[in-house]
Amino acid sequence: MKAIYCILLLSGLAAEEEFLPENPSNLYDKDGQTIGLQDQVGKAIITTKEIEEKQAEENRLAELNEAKRKKEEIRLARIAERKSGDPVPPEECIGYNGETSHKIASGDTLGKIALKIYGNSAYSTLISVFNRKPANKLFIGEELKTPSPYEIFTELEGKAVWEKYPYAIHDLISIHEQIKKMEPVIIEEKRAGKYSDDTKAQLDEMIWILGQVKQDFLDKVEGIDEYPLATMSQLQTVLNNVKEIRRGNLGKGNRNFQRISLYMINCYSYALSWGRDGFATAKEK
């Protein structure tokens, strides 16, 4: 009797299993394969909802990766475009009177000479470095050379630096002249309480280009074994001050413009000295 009951019970279970839906609980294994009821116990299972969520996340990541790829392509194209043209900075030097030499007279100082010729006493540093003339060793009747930064780096002793870093020097001189031209406009817009879209775009472009100049000096260049650390330090200060102006902070008495000019001139001076000394710092020399 027991044997007959067992046979009937097993037959009923078999018949019942035959009519069960293939995957009544919508359960899947980790590979997305359906799991029958008899195989569900003790196995990792994934619901239909989880599969859909996983697919949605994969789609989101794919879109994100595509956006990152496009952004990177734009960035690289922008960098390539920067170095696709002829790196010739403007010959104009705002405030420069064009005198390429000056004979020292009684009462002259490098600051006075710089103010007379370049319109900015900060150029005294460049005059000193270019002429290898300490400020305390000026002699009446002695002649100092006073070329523009453009001439120094494209025709005179700074040419070695220009040949190694043409786009960096091009951009330094160009941005310096550009910020001089923009200064009265920026001050007026600041007084009015708002920068124009054009001003914001120009300042943003300056910030980006100055970042690229830093990268230029960090890139490996044949024949150069060290970075121009002094130049880069001055450059970072220029960049910081341009960023401050972009934020609307012109400094007390609009001094951030003066600071930009001062440290930009220091960039010229240190770069000139670095290249002239065989691209080695004074410490290593």
In whole angstroms, what is the distance from residue 194 CA to residue 11 CA? 87
pLDDT, position 68: 83
More reliable by pLDDT, 23 or 191: 191
Strands (E), 41-164: 46-47, 101-103, 143-145
**Cβ atoms within 10 Å, residue 260:** 25
Antiparallel, parallel or unpaired: β 46-47 and 143-145: unpaired
pLDDT, position 248: 95
The answer, yes or no, to whether residue 33 has pLDDT greater than 80, is: no
Q: Which of 261, 258, 255, 269 is nearest to 93 (CA)?
A: 261
Q: Exposure string (b/e) for 206-221, b if CB count within 10 Å is 16 or more? A: beebbeebbebbeeee
**Cβ atoms within 10 Å, residue 19:** 6
pLDDT, position 145: 96
pLDDT, position 274: 93
pLDDT, position 167: 96
The answer, yes or no, to whether residue 269 has pLDDT greater than 50, is: yes
In whole angstroms, what is the distance from residue 55 CA to residue 42 CA? 25
The answer, yes or no, to whether residue 173 has pLDDT greater than 90, is: yes
Tens of pLDDT, residues 117-169: 999 999 999 999 999 998 888 899 999 999 999 999 999 999 999 999 999 99
In whole angstroms, what is the distance from residue 279 CA to residue 164 CA? 10
232 token code pair: 């880069």
CA distances to 58, 59, 60, 127, 188 from 64, rounded to whole Å, are 10, 9, 6, 53, 42
In whole angstroms, what is the distance from residue 130 CA to residue 272 CA? 8
The answer, yes or no, to whether residue 8 has pLDDT greater than 90, is: no
